[in-house]
A and B are shown apart, each in its own frame.
Chain A
């Protein structure tokens, strides 16, 4: 609602025209040819025209060990989307920038093959020739039959708009990480299953081989071994070795702690059997000291249907073997979950980046307006995700600690190297350097910890060595349900104290495996294990700060390049910089407080202020201190109203505040920061776009409202009734028509509480006083039956509390309205055509009203006497003067603001847990009957 994309586009156009008038026309030879794609009806801001595909899509590719890079599927799964775009070629491109630190196999010094839990890599890749830019998310899945047990995959968000990818990097990363987590979880399950089957096979084979050997022994009494017998013995030995290896693998895959999933706040459904399996797995011990005793009980209990096969001694990995599909690699359930998530991503990031950013910014800002946002905003999404909570949490823990962390982080060279060459090169591949940083720290840390437990760890020596020497970025992950039972702190606290295997055996599987895995944690993620969880959330933002340094050196400059519509890039930058320094409070302080300064025409002022949007929307990063949620979002605003409360510029220029505060936050988190390939999965996603349903509802409501104000000449008093808290009853016989009207009018209803709009679409029973407390907009059935008489009787009885809109006879009975606000809100000659646009128009005017109500509510001297002797009347006079002169409200508009102020007060006073009695306010004012 803060700024609609249509509005942005529109005003930019105006600005462009202005510039043309101002400057002398260019000589002919310098004139730039017209936008080549303009003829196709494409808007010049859409860069889609240059690319071979029509819209953004998600591509999943695999680096197949048989055929090389190949595309697997696209989302949306529609051939039209990718068009002539060469998916095969692009798959090759995206698979070639896999910077995952995958290392699987026999690490030197390790007896067994080692599964490394590789962190996904996230890379931005551009191909200007193809006109395609992509966020590429690489991940590795496990497949027992694959080479090195790994199958590299990648998911790519492909867009024609490079800025979209760059600016939404954090969000994309967060969303794709969820999808990836989901896939990997399913994959770990499937892999564990596969391993179990394989173990059974091996066990069976061993039994068979053993029997054969025994038979041979019996049959052979010559006293020496035949070559056959030796062969058999060798075979048996290799099977035994294989069993041990597989058991080890199974243990590793199970040892994946749950931390990742918990952090991403993404809880894929865990089938019940997973739990059972974990428990059963607890009974059986894969790390048993006696490796010759395989987990038969375990295998037979939970997979009774599986009949083991005999494994040939040399099962060659052939090229003719069919590799598992992605669906097979993951559990079917998780696969569909992932697809859902990817579809969600596709929906979320659909559309112009400008729109996305605006949406995100307005959401982020809205969240801070906890005092007023309940009135007209859909605040349901605010409860959806609490990313801010993490920030509040870490603020509570102390800023110092974070700063410390930040500086610590910034020591590590984690800058995107290739930034400088971006303009000339075809692709931009930021190279991840965290590993080195981690390498430098980790051995020291892990050694120091481990030296204490050396004696306990002896038996694990091989593992430790393996993981240390690998020095890779290994994430500790988890498949087992029981893992989630451990709190993070618990699991981490227990890391150094590594229990003996005997102790572990008595507990559930995951507990036991923690001991194993903790070593990996120590060896690979030292920094993480030392940072409290709360801080982790904040350090992605710390990472973001580094590239800012690069800004001066001609790294990636998106600001000027982002706006082809804005002619003067330099100017833009400077303006932006100047704005950056302007603190909201400072800006206000400069204005001389003048109590008596009358407010000039509000509407005009607004247009002037808002006419030009010079600064492109910027991704909102909630890390900024000044912008933290909670009531005093701008420090001065809450209590220090007095100096500037009457300043008209401030009243109308709420956008300026938001602008400057935005710039404020953007200075620490510049655009380029998003280009950095941060590996953290813990990046909180700052904005979650509303569900499509809400969007549709808004559009429809806006459309209906537009129709209503065009159709009914008495729309103004009706809307006034709603805004001033007088219940409006829509009376009619036809349910559909009444409901439509109610939907249309519902956008004008201020919320009385946080939860739902006080709107009742359809009522058939007589209304009662209690209903008017609950509902401010009611659709009422008119019937001719005796019951209908009661309904009408109740209406006439309570007529003083009601405005009645008769949908059948097209009449309205309600108080007179002579104000001006509603006229702006609902102009029947409005040029707005689209429902969603009108909705936003309404929202913007309602926001203005809210800000007035806010000022009115929180101005101390308007409600309380300045001195003790001051009589009540002078306070009342001051109040009225403020409303009339300072807020520029006329007649009935005062009542609207007063009502909203009352709601604000109630909302603010109300204790969180306590519902509070709903009260009904009313006026003794005469009603009039309006007819068409």
Chain B
């Protein structure tokens, strides 16, 4: 029995009526990164990086070099001013190496293998023309792969997420802690940088699982136990926090069963994304929309998928796409609700579950925030079924479509069939003209 909302076979708003299966990977595909308007790279547990054309699905390059699975990937378009811009990608792998690849030539540019631990995250600071690698320590590199500076050994677990903040700062999630580092130019060198730990924030109860920058003033973190904290990006103070993504008051009768089957995963903040107004959180199987102004959850879909939501993204047209371990991709639309029928409106009530810790169980009462502000809800407008295993990530290419990668080793390019059809017509007439078959005879 599933309480997941389903949509029938008739999906008028779903534009994706054509698909291309891109084969190449031999293991789980975990990462997709966009390189430019029509290219993207994919990487996964087989240690191979593929470069694809998002329009045709053509495999452009294959990068072999890592011996273990890829742990992080970041695009890095560098411009020296003298040379023309080259598109690079940086990949980190469990074999404790980082390789820079040239997307144009398809060749390996440089390789670093002096790491003591696996690099788990990579961040490129375009502004400073440096990139950072986060593992058990934080290293700062320039684009020539010179190590500029590094921190001391932090923890064995290492940095799990990095985000750039204003004023040459970065926030690094290290276990439960959130550490702010600042990069400053060193005195003894033109290109020397120093990295200093500025602040350590310990507000999370559990490991920080996601970290996202909303705008220049705000960033958001989410933890494994469903805490969501909104931080000021300038003085690193807590602006707001939501601790309980579980609303017990609305479904009092179903609560007991769910409690039994509840696992930490169910409330873990898997992924965060944001636009200017809202933060969208993938929490367990559900999706929550948190409004930064109102400082509360304005809409949610508690069981958006059959299992954990792994990635969500906001589209420009008020739509939201989510993918999940259940192998499906769903398209949601954030709609305003005129009236509030009390029983079905997901409101911003939170309840913290202790997850086996008795002291926290049901102890915190939900605070009621019943306001007269307009309510929203997430309407399912389409789903994409193609993968036979967990969909790890997806990339939205706008008109070109949507690329999804999955544990079934496949990447699927979902396309708008109408658009493709007319593009093909265009190509056809172009070719006709080329072949000289188009000699009009009136």
Contact = CB atoms under 8 A, between A and B. Distances in A.
* A, B assembled together: yes
Interface of A: 585, 631-632, 635-636, 638-640, 642-643, 768-770, 773, 794, 797-800, 857-858, 860, 863-864, 898, 902, 905-906, 908-909, 917-927
| Those 7 A-B pairs whose CB atoms lie nearest each other, nearest first | A863-B425, A640-B441, A639-B438, A924-B11, A638-B437, A905-B424, A636-B441
Given A800-B385, A863-B425, A920 B437 contact: no
B421 A924 contact: no
12 contacts: A635-B441, A638-B432, A769-B386, A769-B412, A770-B21, A858-B428, A863-B428, A902-B421, A909-B428, A921-B17, A924-B9, A924-B17
A923 B417 CA distance: 9
Interface in B1-30: 8-12, 14, 17-23
A631 B435 contact: yes
A796 to B, nearest CB: 10
A922 B428 contact: no
Contacts, number: 111
Contacts of A768: 388
Contact of B437 (A632, A797, A798, A909): A632
Given A638-B437, A640-B440, A924-B382, 7 more contacts: A640-B439, A643-B442, A769-B410, A864-B426, A902-B421, A908-B431, A917-B22
B201 interface: no
B17 A925 contact: no
Contacts of A858: 428, 432
Contacts of A769: 19, 21, 386-388, 410, 412
B21 A863 contact: no
A909 B442 contact: no
B429 A863 contact: yes
B427 interface: yes
B417 A917 contact: no
B422 interface: yes
Given A638-B439, A902-B424, A909-B424, A925 B429 contact: no
B56 interface: yes
A814 B22 CA distance: 27
A917 B57 contact: yes
B10 to A, nearest CB: 5
Interface string B365-396: 00000000000000000100111100000000
Contacts of B8: 926
Interface in B404-428: 410, 412, 415, 417, 420-422, 424-428
Contacts of B422: 863
Nearest to B58: A917
A925 B421 CA distance: 19
A925 B9 CA distance: 5
A922 B437 contact: no
B12 to A, nearest CB: 7
B143 to A, nearest CB: 34
B11 A906 contact: no
B57 to A, nearest CB: 5
A123 B212 CA distance: 91
Contacts of B428: 857-858, 863, 905, 908-909
A635 B436 CA distance: 11
A631 B437 contact: yes
A769 B439 CA distance: 41
Contact of B439 (A639, A864, A920): A639
B431 A926 contact: no
Interface of B: 8-12, 14, 17-23, 56-58, 382, 385-388, 410, 412, 415, 417, 420-422, 424-429, 431-432, 435, 437-442
B20 A800 contact: no
Given A863-B425, A863-B429, A919-B20, A924 B10 contact: yes
A919 B425 contact: no
B18 A635 contact: no
Contacts of A908: 428, 431-432
Given A798-B385, A902-B421, A909-B428, A922 B18 contact: yes
A639 B9 contact: no
Given A908-B428, A921-B18, A585 B385 contact: no
A857 B424 CA distance: 10
Nearest to A636: B441
Contacts of B385: 797-798, 800
Contacts of A902: 421, 424
Nearest to A902: B421
Contact of B424 (A800, A906, A918): A906
B329 to A, nearest CB: 13
Given A864-B426, A924-B9, A639 B441 contact: yes
Contacts of A773: 21
Contact of B427 (A909, A924, A925): A909
Contacts of A860: 429
B438 A638 contact: yes
Contacts of A643: 442
Contacts of B18: 919-922
B442 A642 contact: yes
Contacts of B57: 917, 919
Nearest to A794: B388
Given A638-B437, A863-B422, A909 B431 contact: yes
B37 to A, nearest CB: 19
A794 B440 CA distance: 50
Contacts of B429: 860, 863-864
A917 B432 contact: no
B26 to A, nearest CB: 15
Contact of A863 (B9, B14, B426, B442): B426
B9 A927 contact: yes
A922 B386 CA distance: 12
B425 A905 contact: yes
A253 to B, nearest CB: 51
B234 to A, nearest CB: 47
Given A639-B439, A640-B440, A857-B428, A921 B417 contact: yes
Nearest to B21: A770
Contacts of B421: 898, 902, 905
Nearest to B421: A902
A592 to B, nearest CB: 12
A331 B346 CA distance: 92
Contacts of A639: 432, 437-441
Contacts of B9: 799-800, 924-927
A585 B12 contact: no
B23 to A, nearest CB: 8
A638 B434 CA distance: 13
A925 B10 contact: yes
A883 to B, nearest CB: 13
Contacts of B386: 769
Contacts of B437: 631-632, 638-639
Contacts of B435: 631
Given A638-B432, A863-B425, A864-B429, A919 B441 contact: no
Determine which residue in B19, B58, B422, B425 has the highest number of CB atoms from chain A within 10 A of its CB, and name it.
Answer: B425
Contacts of B427: 905, 909
A649 B427 CA distance: 29
B297 to A, nearest CB: 31
Contacts of A631: 435, 437
Determine which residue in A638, A799, A923 has the highest number of CB atoms from chain B within 10 A of its CB, and name it.
Answer: A638
Contacts of B388: 768-769, 794, 797
A872 to B, nearest CB: 8
Contacts of B21: 769-770, 773, 917-918, 920
Nearest to B8: A926
Contacts of B56: 917
A603 B177 CA distance: 77
Contacts of B387: 769
B10 A926 contact: yes
B413 to A, nearest CB: 9
